[in-house]
């Protein structure tokens, strides 16, 4: 069973483009359905952490909006932070899924229990993945991966039951 989902940011939570405004501030755009899926994952008891090599205030704002408490940014070597996140979450590596796209994510993908690469991922990340999303990062890949993880955990029916319309009564 997967209990903790660790997400990269650029290329996973976002498209991977790095636009800057006129003042040199990085801007990031997040996909709404990914946010809804993350809320659903957490409502089912799953934990979420964000782990990024870059640092951007917008990531903290999005995490706050979604209720994600564990956000680690600005770490070029993600392995020590990954180990700390797992320890603090009280999980072993077989209970962890990582969604990544690029070379800094490869060591995490090789260690976690359920490695996931987004469609636009580097080929090395895709080779390690148990699942490669059909959607690219920043365009629903996280929502797709969460649906896969809910099925893997056997909680898919329960998670989505409140969204299914009731059967129509026959006359």
CATH code at position 127: 3.40.50.1000
* Domain of residue 140, residue span: 4-163
Q: In total, how many domains does the chain have? A: 1
Within-domain flag for 155: yes
pTM flag (> 0.85): yes
Within-domain flag for 171: no
Within-domain flag for 115: yes
pLDDT at residue 160, as a whole number: 81
Within-domain flag for 33: yes
Instruction: Give the separation between CA 130 and CA 109, rounded to whole angstroms.
Output: 9
Within-domain flag for 142: yes
Within-domain flag for 169: no
Within-domain flag for 65: yes
Q: Give per-residue pLDDT as tens, 5-40.
A: 999 999 999 887 766 666 666 677 888 999 999 999
Q: Give per-residue pLDDT as tens, 136-162.
A: 999 999 999 999 999 999 998 888 887
CA distances, 106 to each of 58, 125, 128 (Å): 24, 6, 8
- Coil vs helix vs strand at 72: strand
By the 10 Å C-beta count (0-12 exposed, 13-18 middle, 19+ buried), 102 is classed as: buried
Q: Give per-residue pLDDT as tens, 61-71.
A: 999 999 999 99
Within-domain flag for 70: yes
Unique residue bearing structure tokens 């990062």: 137
């Amino acid at each position: 069973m997967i209990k903790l989902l660790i997400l990269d940011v650029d290329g996973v939570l976002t498209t991977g483009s790095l636009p800057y405004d006129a003042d040199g501030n990085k801007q990031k755009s997040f996909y709404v359905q990914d946010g809804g899926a993350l809320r659903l994952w957490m409502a089912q008891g799953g934990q979420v952490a964000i782990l990024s090599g870059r640092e951007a205030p917008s990531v903290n704002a999005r995490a706050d909006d979604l209720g994600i408490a564990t956000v680690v940014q600005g770490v070029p070597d993600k392995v020590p932070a990954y180990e700390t996140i797992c320890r603090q979450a009280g999980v072993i590596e077989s209970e962890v899924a990582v969604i990544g796209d690029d070379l800094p994510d490869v060591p995490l993908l090789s260690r976690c229990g359920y490695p996931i690469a987004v469609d636009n991922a580097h080929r090395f990340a895709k080779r390690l993945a148990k699942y490669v999303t059909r959607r690219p990062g920043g365009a629903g890949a996280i929502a797709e991966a969460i649906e896969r993880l809910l099925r893997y955990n056997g909680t898919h029916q329960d998670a989505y039951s409140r969204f299914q319309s009731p059967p129509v009564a026959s006359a």
